[in-house]
């Protein structure tokens, strides 16, 4: 039977809110269908929750020392084994998740925000402001991020918040540079010209036009940045900067376990495995975000 053809005026399907590219519901919709990104998200959220609930789930406390259980290899009672003073490694690893996750997120949030503001200001105003900010960033970027983080961490001293500060500061140049590049592109767009031509005040232009439009590629950078910050934080702790024993941060666990690597490798395998899974999860989410926001893939 013949189908009634669609009404001429409705040849184009009407777009619901979640189909508007670039908007939050659209992004969420996209990610929901990406299996690996969802797996990563579940892992991270689950890990975060468990990390706070360890005292209620497990029999052993992360600080509980037991000389008789020293160096215990993985077994039924202790799935990850025990460390050099008999603490259950599973509990320590799970408890330690909160450090790596929170350091990664907070450092990136802080560093990202600062970097975005700096980049936007630098890109929008140009001239002397731009030159000064760029030269400063040049200096900060003339050696690898980790070394910068090490230097700052050494200057600040050990500690949780100091580590966050070090990782955050070390990440600023990257975000600032990208934001500046995006701002420069947007600044020469016609809609900015239009806004200035109707006397729109500058802060309003920056906040309402420049930043929202420059932010899409930043989202991907930020999500990768969390993974990177987590890695830098563990590396720093591994080397002895940042957080120190007995805090069960994963880098610290690796550092302590290293001395016994030849006889008791389990002390090294598990913390590192969790670092890898965490970074992997953030990378998967970041990849999915990039695909969701890619204009070319929207068609």
Partner 1 sequence: MIRYIAKRLLQMIPVLISVAILIFTIMYFVPGDPVQIILGDYFASPEQIAETRARLGLDKSFWEQLGTFLLGLTHLDFGKSYIYGNEVGPELLYRFPKTLALAGSSLVLIIIIGIPLGIWCALNAGKLIDRALMVVTLLLNSMPSFWLGLLLIILFTTELKLLPSTYTNSPKSFIMPVIACSASVLAAVSRQTRSSMLEVIRSDYVTTARSKGLSENAVIYKHVLPNALVPIITVCGTRLGVMIGGSTVIEAVFSIPGIGQYMVNAINSRDYPVVRGSILTVALTFSIIMLVMDLIYAFVDPRIKAQYARAKKRPDKA
Partner 2 sequence: MADITKSETQFLSVRDLKVEYKLGKDTIYAVNKVSFDLQKGKTLGLVGETGAGKTTIAKAIMRILPSHSLKTLHGEVSLEGVNVLALPESQMRTLRGKRISMIFQDPMTALNPLKTVVDQIAESIRLHQHKSKADARIDAIKMLETVGISADRADVYPHQFSGGMKQRVVIAMALACDPDLLIADEPTTALDVTIQAQVLELVRKLQKETGTSMILITHDLGVVAETCDSVAVVYAGEVIEYGTKEDVFDHPTHPYTIGLFGALPDLKKNVKRLSPVKGLPPDPSEEYTDSCPFAARCPHVSERCHTSKPDSYEISDGHTVKCFLAKEMK
Which residues, in sequence order, are CB contacts of 95 under 8 Å at separation 6+?
Answer: 51, 54, 62, 248
Tell me which stretch binds partner 2 (CB under 8 A): 1-9, 217-225, 239-247, 259-267.
1-9
* Residue 262 tokens, joined: 């030849």
188 binds partner 2 (CB under 8 A): no
**Nearest 10 degrees: CA dihedral of 193, 199, 202, 206?**
-50
In the complex, what is the shortest distance from the CB of residue 233 to partner 1, in angstroms, rounded to a whole number? Answer: 11
Which residues, in sequence order, are CB contacts of 47 under 8 Å at separation 6+?
Answer: 94, 97, 101, 274, 278
2 binds partner 2 (CB under 8 A): yes
Which residues, in sequence order, are CB contacts of 45 under 8 Å at separation 6+?
Answer: none
Give whole-number Cα distances, 190 to 21, 54, 126, in Å: 21, 55, 18
In the complex, what is the shortest distance from the CB of residue 294 to partner 2, in angstroms, rounded to a whole number? Answer: 16
- Report yes or no: 176 and 119 within 8 Å, Cβ to Cβ: yes
297 binds partner 1 (CB under 8 A): no
Query: Residue from 172, 268, 288, 293 that binds partner 1 (CB under 8 A)?
Result: 268
| Residues of span 48-67 touching partner 1 by CB under 8 A | none
Which residue's CB is nearer to partner 1, number 105 or number 200?
A: 105
Tell me which stretch binds partner 2 (CB under 8 A): 7-15, 112-120, 202-210, 223-231.
7-15
* Residue 236 tokens, joined: 């720093």
| Residues of span 9-68 touching partner 2 by CB under 8 A | 11-12
Which residue's CB is nearer to partner 2, number 2 or number 142?
A: 2
HSE-CB of 178 using CA atoms within 13 angstroms: 19
Print the binding letters for residues 137-166 with partner 1: x by CB under 8 A, - otherwise: -xxxxxxxxxx--xxx-xx-x---------
Binding footprint of partner 2 on the chain (CB under 8 A): 2, 5-6, 8, 11-12
């Amino acid at each position: 039977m013949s189908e009634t053809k669609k009404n001429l005026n409705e040849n184009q399907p009407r777009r619901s809110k979640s189909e508007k590219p670039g908007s939050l519901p659209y992004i969420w919709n996209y990610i929901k269908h990406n299996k690996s990104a969802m797996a990563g998200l579940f892992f991270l959220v689950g890990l975060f929750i468990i990390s706070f609930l360890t005292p209620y789930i497990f029999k052993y406390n992360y600080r509980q020392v037991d000389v008789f259980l020293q160096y215990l290899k993985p077994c039924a009672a202790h799935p990850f084994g025990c460390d050099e003073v008999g603490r259950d490694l599973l509990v320590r690893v799970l408890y330690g998740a909160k450090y790596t996750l929170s350091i990664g997120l907070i450092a990136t949030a802080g560093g990202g925000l600062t970097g975005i503001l700096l980049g936007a200001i630098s890109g929008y105003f140009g001239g002397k402001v731009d030159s000064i900010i760029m030269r400063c960033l040049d200096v900060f970027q003339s050696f690898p991020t980790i070394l910068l983080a090490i230097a700052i961490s050494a200057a600040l001293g050990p500690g949780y918040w100091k580590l966050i500060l070090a990782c955050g500061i070390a990440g600023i140049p990257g975000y600032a540079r990208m934001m500046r590049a995006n701002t420069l592109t947007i600044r020469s767009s016609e809609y900015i010209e239009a806004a200035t031509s109707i006397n729109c005040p500058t802060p309003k232009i920056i906040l309402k036009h420049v930043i929202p439009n420059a932010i899409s590629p930043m989202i991907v950078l930020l999500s990768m940045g969390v993974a990177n910050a987590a890695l830098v934080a563990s590396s720093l702790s591994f080397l002895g900067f940042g957080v120190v024993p007995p805090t069960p941060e994963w880098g610290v666990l690796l550092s302590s376990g290293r001395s016994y690597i030849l006889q008791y490798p389990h002390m090294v395998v598990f913390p590192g495995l969790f670092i890898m899974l965490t970074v992997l999860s953030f990378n998967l989410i970041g990849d999915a975000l990039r695909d969701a926001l890619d204009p070319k893939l929207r068609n």
